[in-house]
Structure 1
Amino acid sequence: MTDQGNFQLQDRSSEKLWQSFDYPTDTILPSQVIDRGGILSSRRSETNFSRGRFQLRLQQDGNLVLNTINLPTDFANTPYYASGTDDGTNSSTSGMQLVFNETGSIYVSRKNGESLGLADGDLVSSRDNYIRATLNFDGVFAQYYHPKNGSESWTYIWSIPDDICRILLDSGAGVCGFNSICTLYQDQKRPTCKCPRNYTLIDPNDEYGDCKPDFIQGCAEDELFRSKGGEVLDLYDVMEKKLPLSNGRVDNSLNSRGFIKVRKAEYSILPNGSHGLSPEIIEKEKDQDTLILVGSVLFGTSVFVNILLVSAFCLGFFFIYRKKKAKTVIAQNVFEMNLRCFTYKELEVATDGFKEELGSGAFGIVYKGTIQLGSSIVVAVKKLNFVAQETEKEFKNEVNVIAQIHHKNLVRLHGYCDDGQNRLLVYEYLGNGTLASFVFADIKPSWKERTQVVLGIAKGLLYLHEECSTQIIHCDIKPQNILLDDYYNAKISDFGLAKLLMMNQSQTHTAIRGTKGYVAPEWFRNIPITAKVDVYSFGVVLLEIICCRRSVDAVSNDDGKEILTDWAYDCVVEGALDALVSWETEALDDRKKLETYVMVSMWCIQENPSVRPTMRKVVQMLEGVVEVHVPPCPFPAYSITN
């Protein structure tokens, strides 16, 4: 063990065979250097020394970054700090090493011999103090000192970033857990996490952990409505954030305030875990004594004054009651105003006897029709082949769930029909047809149009998986289930129908669903089905959009090109993307995006679902805000144990 804290293994000639300085964990010491590709990893928590989700990396391009990773993988998220010492346009200024020299200075050594210091201000003496720099479990990279001749604890010197609470992390929870609020007080250098009012820590021993509500959740009215300014707003007009809340923080520089809706205080979970009246309602009962006092005063005054007061009370109560009742009626009928219930006869007339067929699939046949909703509106009417929900209430509940899901890249539901054995859904009509007719047409769409469609599909799936009130796994993503509006914006159809047809979904073992060529491998194995099945299907569709050809071409005369995913990977390995896009000039002029899109597709079609990215990560990679690494072979020989 050297005086610098470096543990070494040496041979008889004192030649170093191995040293701990080459394998840092969360801390570096004076005289220690990190080369390109080197990493510091935080611990999991203050007392858990296993690998955490924060990293400090000197990337291969010379940029020093702080980022989170998606445990248990090494997949890096967007950096929340970067030194700016990457290759860029001037490779001579790119970073070569992160140096912690003997005097206690920490800096990035550039290729041209210059250096970029990470901290400003005076340094403490390394002669009189022990010095270290640690990537803490809360994502803060900080330097500390400890007097060699003293009993004091480690003292903070500087850190990056300055305020970790104000950093928006894209990995789910922020520095603090879900539903928690992060605050950095002026006299502190480390963040403090607190649960909002009416929330408590799931694990009382983990102050940086997740918070849970102390009140009962789940009533339908809470999911359907929220109030603002005394008015009931329909979910079609309000995009609500999916719970749990992430990245909660206090930021006094913003002139704004956030609100969390909680259940009224009358009924809550008491500290002992039972349900009952809260202390607030008990306090209200005490206030009844005040009402008795008011009554006594009334009877002690003149009859005329009493009549005036009583009349005023009654009149006020009448208006309040009527207003409250009106709001209740609005709340009860808001779905009926936005989701219309049709009779079978109405839809038969609207479609001229189901005359013009637009398409058909596993869920049923779609017909073109015209309905009256203030004016004549062209719609697409889907006749469902089979619905497992036997009662009218069950069917209506499932349809209402679908109706709540509203996004610019999802086809909107206008209404439904539940008339005996006839059950139909009425959707908006999109004049430019399906993605299949667009991409596989004789005339190839432009590269710009295709990339626009790709992003639209990805964002629609992201909304279904993570941002709507209830996660929806589509289970049948394919070009025939993606429609295009008048401006060629992509809209996903048939979402929610898998659940409507009583197909068990998340974390369950199910019968195979989907379409040949787009079905994820886990459907054929006895393993849980998750949202990653949609990621796989999206990867196949992405390749089809890039190449303007179908995923399976049984009549192809070119050996090795019958299966698009196999051929595309061969092209990636051989560096033959030109052939993949048939030497299309517009796509090759945008080669960086082309390479990114192809690599993203390779990540999506990984045989092992745990290796595939989430749709949030897919969108970030497609938009260029997250670095896309070279993917492994999507089809390795591997086994999954039950």
Structure 2
Amino acid sequence: MAFFIEAVYLSFLLATTFEAAKAQPDANMIGLGATLYPSTQPTAWYSPSKRFAFGFFPEGSGFRVGIWIVGSANNVTVWTAQRDDPALSSSSTLGFIDGKLQLKYEQGQLQTIVDPPKPASYASMLDSGNFVLYDLYKSIIWESFMFPTDTILGGQALDPGKELISSLSPIDHSSGRFHLKMQYDGNLVAYPANSAEDSVDSYWNTGTMNNPKTKLILTNVTGKLLLADANGTSVIKPVASPLPRVNGSLHRATLGYDGNLRLFSHSFDAEGKSNMSTEWEAIADLCDVKGFCGYNSYCSRIDGEPQCFCMPGYSFTDLNETSGGCERNFTGSKCILGKEDASHINMTSLNVGCDDRPYFLAPMGEKEDCNHSCLEDCDCDAAIYSEPTCSKYKLPLKYLKSTTSTVSSTAFFKLSIDISRNQDGDTQKQPWSTILALSLSFVAYSCIILAVFTIFIFKFHIMKYRKLLFETRTTGLIKGFTLRTYTYNELKKATRGFNQELGKGGFGAVHKGTFDRGRSFVAVKRLEKVVEEGEREFRAEMRVIGRTRHRNLVRLLGYCIEGSKRLLVYEYMSNGSLADLLFKGQWRPNWDDRVRIALDVARGILYLHEECESAIIHCDIKPQNLLLDESWRAKISDFGLAKLLMPEQTRTNTHARGTRGYMAPEWFKNIPISVKVDIYSFGIVLLEIVCCRKNLAYNLSRPEETLLPAWAYNCFEANELDKLIRGEEVDRRTFERMITVALWCIQDEPALRFPMKTVMMMLEGIIDVPIPPCPSDEFSVQY
């Protein structure tokens, strides 16, 4: 009977909430043309009760756009727009323009942050915390409640397939390390971000499988957190119930930056200040949150607070971010006839457990047997003995946690004898046999150097390589990165012996790899040139891409450093390169798709040139380095030739680098280069995107068409641009604008090429494109 009453009551609450949402807009209507500013009034639009605000709020040294609870300490944010984009400057504005919410930057560039399915006529910040857009007939056509970030409010639901994604920290509202998903099977599950969403990755769930179309609802009146059916008429399971509600209070459920789901209540005093109380939290011990500590580290409670510690023989990747994981600070031994060379390897024990899947699981009589089994196993980096079972694991380990004294299990970790002796305080000298072997090896090696000149050359290169490796370590190349470290064997297995090649460049090949039993894919770049060339390529790519974070740049996931082996692991771009799309397909890509791809590439270059801390010159913009993800979004890859500029530097001297056909003329004139070399390359790529052909094509029926840049300008000058697309249906204004912009980009004189921000505004039609002069007729220099 109580269950039936609860269901009826829920239906009544939902109905009254939706009716209130429809009836409210006239009280606080926002019309077209309304504008907000970060640091001058108006900065926000408020709900009628002044409990919620939509607008600019400060974050770090910049601003973001979102919704927050007014009067709360530090402005508790409940929704954030474009949360993974760079913070906004104080010169930005937000306008309700052309039926959309659009950001306008200092240079006039526009970015749409809310784009309803049809143009909106009105907007309103409701007292429920929902920001809505209405059409001309005052029907809701977009609402923030349908696109939650890390919070749901009273009257809001988390529908099947949708998720809450935690913030990165209490003061950084970028996407964080955890997400809470309302699965289609009816189970509400919390996972670490970027996990395979497998049962081994889950750290909290409601156990409500086999209930399709279930959704999570936070009731508006009582503040109860419930799982209900699609119609909201039947309660599947109560999740949390707060204390009796104080009159005028409101509730929110938030997935915190630490991965814990909590229910909060906010009451307000006479002055409108909010008093926040925690009503419920899903997890009592944060060490139970998988991924709370990063790779190769474990969580333990110290004085009741969770803290992260590295495994023995490991150190934090970033000392300022102990949750970012640890990396090994010793070199493993060699495998001899399938067994580990134990002469330089020891095992140490620790009372921790592991929720990762072991690659070996079998009963063993004693824990010493488990220890010895891992010590001899080349693939084993750690083992856990829980009587009578021995489990063996490879690196990296994701889900380690200290165990209580009541849990009978012991973990063993493999590390070098030198490190284990330092930890135990043993300072014994190396045995005489080792010293003698080293001495004989040195004498023999010296004789070979004196006898054979070629060995001397080899030694010279090895010394240079070691010098570069030392520089890598001492300059802290990896310091500051929170990237995953992989072993060579792990990547070799993931790529099936590097047998599925995706492409090949000057420094090595890129191979397709798979993890999590085929559920996730990666691209593994294997640097094959040894000594300084390969090391410089590796360091350049790590240094450059480690400073970047943009949706139009390929994301670096991790790396491998083992001896002379250098590998980089990137997100897998399932639709290949732009070169494949333009030049190898049986038909031309859709015109709208080509326009979107061109804008994607332009945004990526704009970020490198003007939005990074230090400007980055890519130096090799070409279709082969522009990759397409599963959504056909274009991303810039291959930063091995990139050049960083100092903060006050606009030009730099460097040797010629890049690909012929896309290299700016200044590369061949031995003069300092600037970001304008990338703009030239982009101009060539833009012509190729528009015309769907390479910039140099032989065996054509018309010889004048061989060189695309020269032919494009001749067609432009003769007002015969239709020849470039051969009757294809395109948007005429956009087509002409793109050709004209491309001709400006490939001007011989760098000063005539517009900056990337201006190029971007021209492509988007924000500013007019003037008539370009004739580019140099010396295109053939680089062919």
TM-score normalised by L of structure 2: 0.39
| Greater strand content | 2
TM-score normalised by L of structure 1: 0.47
